[in-house]
Structure 1
Amino acid sequence: MELRQLGSTGLHVSALGLGTLTWGRDTDELDAAEQIKSFVEAGGSLVDTAAHYADGDSESVLGHVLANDVDRSDVVVCTKAGLRRTRAGTVVDASRASLLDSLDESLRRLGTDHVDLFLVQAPDPRTPAAETVSALRRAVDSGRARYVGLSNHPGWRTAQVGTLLAASGDAELAAVEVEYSLLERGVEREVLDCADGLGAGVLAWSPLGRGVLTGKYRDSLPADSRGASPHLAGFIEPYLDRRSSSIVQAVATAADGLGREPLEVALAWLGTRGVASAIVGARTPGQLRASLAAADLVLPHAVVGALDEVSAPSLGYPEYR
């Protein structure tokens, strides 16, 4: 699998990343171990998790797998902080105390003294950007994180944080992790240009449109799918509309013509968009193997153009050029 430079940093990540959203909840440690071994054997390196996933159990499972099934040095570990569980529900908290305490807890669960990439998972309107930046700088200064970045932040906030980090002189915005697929191209309005201007690499989560681009939902709602699960149904539902159906159909048509699977076409298309890594979240080892099969697919220009057209995002003032 191709290794790609993460922005202008010295860190390189695999073209496909392994997401662990379901680990510790829908994916047990046995299946997780099989996934990561297959992933590393295929040349994969980036493994993405978060303190918030399965209330920390995702990191715990990953920690056990790192201790028993793969060499830590073979894996680029990315984790995220900034979401906290409270009695009132989940709250966004990117304060210094919250981020650094969360990082310490993540390191304990992961069984390592550092993560390769530490991201703020969501923008916090109540915490000054300078305070969030000070926590990211401290994470790097203390050796607990090699690189830092943002996830799910709009372009203006990304620019603000990136500029403050650059001014400090001892850390840079290494990555932005955003949802990006044929079904969600909103980041093309500002975030991608912002990341490029700051020298940050782009990590794409849910590159298969929350699983919808696999085509599994074209005719029905499979009983064993995320769309039918009580905790993820609401996550899938936005992409079960008419617009998404037309894009899925275009992907399926292209796949038929190429003799490949729809998910391979969807991942190969994203590979043409300049992202450092597309993070695939597989619930089972079989699902991961299907995604890994896309690593060698290069789409014809005509197919890329057709998919660009059918999925084009709406652009308006002032982004329209």
Structure 2
Amino acid sequence: MSLDTYYTLGRSGLRVSRLALGTMTFGDNWGWGAAEDTARTMFDRYLAAGGNFVDTADLYTDGASEELLGRFMAETGTRDRVVLSTKFSYNAQPGNPNAGGNGRKHILRAVDGSLRRLRTDYIDLYLLHTWDRLTPAEEVVRTLDDLVRAGKIRYAGLSDVPAWYAARAQTYAEAHALTPLVNLQLEYSLIERHIEHEFVPMSAELGMGITAWSPLGMGLLSGKYKASEAGGSGEGRLAKISGAPGFDRFTERNWRVVAALEEVAAAMGRPMAQVALNWVATQPGVASVIVGATKLAQLDDNLAALSFEIPLELRARLDAASALEPTFPYWFFSDVQQSRLHGGVAVGNKPAGYAPPVYVPAQAQGGFKAD
């Protein structure tokens, strides 16, 4: 697999690279990240390697990420080549409740701001960034459909929402012949596998390809952190903010995963980060993996993650070390229960060719190879 091998995103005709360039680090006005010259070099390097899928959001570096991408695409004349994804949800005007969230008023406001910063008249993939716990899925889907019909966006998707919300949104779109959702952007890595319970089977059934963010577990799987009496130590941001909601990654279970990854990477003669990225990119349901960096060397290392295969026996070690604890109701769907349901007779899936084309195995793995 190489960066210039493209797969369709979900149940769509949009062809994307298996590694997407994440640009949350483009711009240093958050006190960390990549300055403009470094960001430009990484953008150029990604495209030169054959990549075409670039991910940003209006939130990232307070809009600087979008502005830099708009400038880079204009200067290089690469807008049509790039599959550009950006997101809305977060508030940019404190005190104004309608300048954030996922209501129609904010979506229409946000898309115009992104188009202006990105110096383009259309967005390839427009995503709800985070569930606001308020806006009905029907309102979001109707508004996204209007944006497609207006030509402002080409495709739509969701990021960081509950599985039931995504399923409701997609089935509503299908029932009313509205623009279907083609993408779910979710956290996924060897230390965060919970999407396997609901999101992975749902995305395969409903035609939404998954793009994985934080495939290195916020850096924990890169090898730059070590276990210590204080929980963990290292030079990255996790060591500084560990314990904050969502950043408490220095756990006993996670250190076991890191140890297994280190052993597997050593056996393969590969950096830990490459092995961790490769594992995510080759998991069922994953269409693309978002990789970000603050230094060119980091990006180069990440882009090499598709150049090898993890041997089955070593992959099994990673799977076992990172396996999820059985929880209800998933433990209940055991082989014993299935035997009782089917009268002790082996019951498999439909034979090949029986189901409609949208359900073929390649789709469930993230899409079809674009020959």
TM-score range, shorter chain: over 0.9
Query: TM-score under structure 1 normalisation?
Result: 0.94
Distance in 2, matches of 1:191 and 1:267, equals 19
Task: Give the equivalent residue in structure 2 for 1:121.
Answer: 129
Distance in 2, matches of 1:75 and 1:107, equals 15
Residue 210 of structure 1 contacts residue 236 of structure 1 at CA under 8 Å; is this kept in 2? no
Q: Of 10, 15, 29, which aligns to 2:13?
A: 10
Distance in 1, matches of 2:265 and 2:96, equals 42
Alignment of 1:45 with 2:47, yes or no, is no
Alignment of 1:290 with 2:298, yes or no, is no
Alpha-carbon deviations, 1:40-75, whole Å to 9, x = none? 111111110001111111111111111113511221
Q: Of 260, 266, 271, which aligns to 1:256?
A: 266
Alpha-carbon deviations, 1:229-261, whole Å to 9, x = none? 67x994774212221111011111101000100
Return the offset for 1:293.
1.2
Alignment of 1:108 with 2:116, yes or no, is yes
Distance in 2, matches of 1:181 and 1:89, equals 36
Q: Of 7, 16, 37, which aligns to 1:30?
A: 37
Map 1:1-321; keep pairs closer than 5 Å.
1=3, 2-25=5-28, 26-69=33-76, 71-87=78-94, 93-218=101-226, 221-223=233-235, 225-227=236-238, 234=244, 237-274=247-284, 275-320=286-331, 321=333
One-letter code aligned to 1:50: A
Distance in 1, matches of 2:124 and 2:315, equals 33
Distance in 1, matches of 2:233 and 2:100, equals 32
Which deviates further from its counterpart, 30-39 or 77-86?
77-86
Alpha-carbon deviations, 1:169-196, whole Å to 9, x = none? 1411110000000010010110111111
Residue 40 of structure 1 contacts residue 74 of structure 1 at CA under 8 Å; is this kept in 2? no
Question: Residue 289 of structure 2: SS of its match in structure 1?
Answer: strand
Residue 166 of structure 1 contacts residue 173 of structure 1 at CA under 8 Å; is this kept in 2? no
One-letter code aligned to 2:329: P
Distance in 1, matches of 2:52 and 2:257, equals 30
Alpha-carbon deviations, 1:106-162, whole Å to 9, x = none? 010000111110000111222122111111111111111110000011110010011
Q: Percent identity?
A: 38
Q: How many residues align?
A: 319
Distance in 2, matches of 1:89 and 1:53, equals 19
Residue 7 of structure 2 contacts residue 18 of structure 2 at CA under 8 Å; is this kept in 1? yes
Q: Which has the larger radius of gyration?
A: 2
Question: Residue 93 of structure 1: SS of its match in structure 2?
Answer: coil
Question: Residue 310 of structure 2: SS of its match in structure 1?
Answer: coil
Runs of 5+ consecutive residues of structure 2 not aligned to the other structure: 334-371
Task: Give the equivalent residue in structure 1 for 2:341.
Answer: none
Which deviates further from its counterpart, 274-283 or 90-99?
90-99
Distance in 2, matches of 1:94 and 1:17, equals 25
- Cα RMSD of the aligned pairs, angstroms, is 2.0
Assess, with a 3 A threshold, how the Cα gap between structure 1 residues 88 and 144 changes in structure 2: closer, same or farther.
same
